[in-house]
Structure 1
Amino acid sequence: MLRLLTLLTTLISFATFSAPKSELWQYWDSSNEESTQTIAHQSWQTFIDRYVVVEGEHHLVNYKAVSQADKRALKQYIQALSSINPREYSRAEQYAYWVNLYNAITVDLILDSYPVKSITKLGGLFSFGPWGDEVIHINDKALTLNDIEHRILRPIWNDPRTHYAVNCASLGCPNLQTSAFTADNTQALLEQAAKEFITSTKGVSLIEGKLTLSEIYDWFAVDFGTKQQLFEHLAQYKGELKSYSGKVNYEYDWSLNDAK
């Protein structure tokens, strides 16, 4: 009976999974472009330097090796960001703030449940992952990871490269970058992340004329425009797609981005 319940729960979770729409949370659509204040992300950079491992086309996290002190430091970094009012900062500072916060919270959630085979195992009994759970309070407002990605980052910046910036702790996901985002390096990092993903087999695989794309391009097709616009985007980094006109398959690997 337990095995049957587990199977049914898994099937329901996969069947009901769908990518949230981009719907602006108006409250967060505010900034101070005259501000010269910066937000410190050195704690997050230190964590990345210690525990992100580059193996081939994957950037893996050595979750098992994270010390108790560094787990506490990560939580302190997240807490520090939660005490900031991002609306008082420039748009450039805000973007780095939200991306780093999203990625740090994701890693923290994995560490709290480690060992775990996939982030999709987190969340409630009938949940597909933790994305709908309240994970932080900012300005006395409770936020989920879905809020950060789909109600703040996507609708405010309207940049499809955001999908290469936020990391879902899975092998199929665009890599967790080896540099924390800052107002100064965001554009360079977004370009780097896009190139890494599109030239990797997990992003775009063209073998003997058969094209397989990451399901990101199916789930968030609206962000990349028409099929022609999508291929123009992909061709910027993988030129052989300029003239592709055949069938497209989609795949995604939800296995944890764990450094063994």
Structure 2
Amino acid sequence: MKLISSAKLLTGILLIAVCICEEYASGLTNETFFDHSLFNRFLGRFVVAGRVNYAGAKIESSDLNTYLLKIASEPKSKVFSMKEPEQIAFYINAYNAITIKTILDHYPIHGSLLNFLYPQNSIRQIKNAWSEKHTVHGEPLSLDDIEHNILRKKYREPRIHLALVCAAMSCPPIRNEAYRGELLDKQLNDQATKFLNSPYGTRYDAASKTLYISSIFKWYGDDFVGAYKNSLDLKGYPPKETAVLNFIYRFLKEPIQKAIISSKVKVKYLKYDWTLNQIPLPAN
């Protein structure tokens, strides 16, 4: 029996090692990244100052449609193998993309006079907008499923409420870029800053010492309890309001910050405006 020379043996070992490393690196890249470039391009074209050009997007929605096909066909196991920020970005983008597609499928929206509680052009006029099933990583999921059964249940990241956009004026502004795992923390903080310093996020009445905040915090304020401790040492508030005030404080401008820490403010919630978050249409 011939013995393999040391040089040949070493060469063989090195080749095997190189192949293993290349395969591992390729697998790692696939596991930790989802390409959101199509949605990024779509948002860059049709979002201006937090509003959507639905009329323009209705005419040219190929990027959005192709992106939703990618979302639909991505294996669930691959999504769950991504790093957590990548997973959160995937679901936020899926939610926002599906919401826009829901609007486009019914645009222009002509509401029913029977549904007089909401504006005629509101997503609230679309039947089953939040319960209709869409394909996401190979399984049927509704907008409610994505928000409540995945994002809120699986991840302890209450800032998602500043990123999920339900196509209404009182929603946080939609970004003109897609969320990305490596930028997620920065993007969520930027969303909080923009939204909380807008008329839809907070409003302070100095005369009555009343802080009006978005109804989002009324509905989902409990998600912030535990995630944001009482570092301001606020007293006399229920746990939900204590957590919310500690969260929003870091993003607000100085006058409102001073009001929060200098005296007990009354907390009330802003009325939610369900008018469609579209770019204003030109007058006829």
TM-score of the superposed pair, with normalisation by structure 1: 0.78
Write the deviation string for residues 12-34 of structure 1: whole angstroms up to 9, x where unpaired. xxxxxxxxxxxxxxxxxxxxxx8
Q: Which residue number in structure 2 is paired with residue 132 of structure 1?
A: 131
- In 1, Cα distance between equivalents of 2:201 and 2:28: 37
1:234 is displaced (CA, Å) by: 1.1
1:230 is displaced (CA, Å) by: 1.4
Which of structures 1 and 2 has the larger relative contact order (alpha carbons within 8 angstroms, sep 6+)?
1
> Do the aligned partners of 2:103 and 2:123 also contact (CA within 8 Å) in 1?
yes
1:115 to 2:135 alignment:
no
Detail structure 1 runs of 4+ shifted over 3 Å in the superposition. none
Q: Which residue number in structure 1 is paired with residue 264 of structure 2?
A: 245
- In 2, Cα distance between equivalents of 1:234 and 1:120: 28
- Read off the aligned partner of 1:165 and give its amino acid letter: A
Q: Which residue number in structure 1 is paired with residue 143 of structure 2?
A: 145
Q: Where does structure 2 lack aligned partners over 5 or more consecutive residues?
A: 1-26, 110-120, 226-238
> Do the aligned partners of 1:35 and 1:90 also contact (CA within 8 Å) in 2?
no
- In 2, Cα distance between equivalents of 1:132 and 1:112: 15
SS in 1 for 2:29: coil
Q: Which residue number in structure 2 is paired with residue 72 of structure 1?
A: 62
Q: Among residues 244, 261, 268, which one is paired with 1:230 in the alignment?
A: 244
Q: Provide the aligned length of Structure 1 versus Structure 2.
A: 216
Q: Which residue number in structure 2 is paired with residue 257 of structure 1?
A: 277
> Do the aligned partners of 1:119 and 1:170 also contact (CA within 8 Å) in 2?
yes
> Do the aligned partners of 1:51 and 1:65 also contact (CA within 8 Å) in 2?
yes
> Do the aligned partners of 2:58 and 2:104 also contact (CA within 8 Å) in 1?
no
Q: Where does structure 1 lack aligned partners over 5 or more consecutive residues?
A: 1-33, 125-129
- In 2, Cα distance between equivalents of 1:174 and 1:231: 18
Structure with larger Rg:
2
Q: Which residue number in structure 1 is paired with residue 211 of structure 2?
A: 211
Root-mean-square deviation (Å):
1.6
Write the deviation string for residues 85-111 of structure 1: whole angstroms up to 9, x where unpaired. 212322222111111111011011101
Q: Among residues 100, 103, 108, which one is paired with 2:93 in the alignment?
A: 100
1:159 is displaced (CA, Å) by: 1.1
Write the deviation string for residues 149-181 of structure 1: whole angstroms up to 9, x where unpaired. 111111222111010111111110011112211
> Do the aligned partners of 2:170 and 2:272 also contact (CA within 8 Å) in 1?
yes
1:122-201 aligned within 5 A: 122-124=126-128, 130-139=129-138, 141-201=139-199
- In 2, Cα distance between equivalents of 1:245 and 1:132: 40
SS in 2 for 1:220: helix
TM-score of the superposed pair, with normalisation by structure 2: 0.72
- In 2, Cα distance between equivalents of 1:242 and 1:235: 9
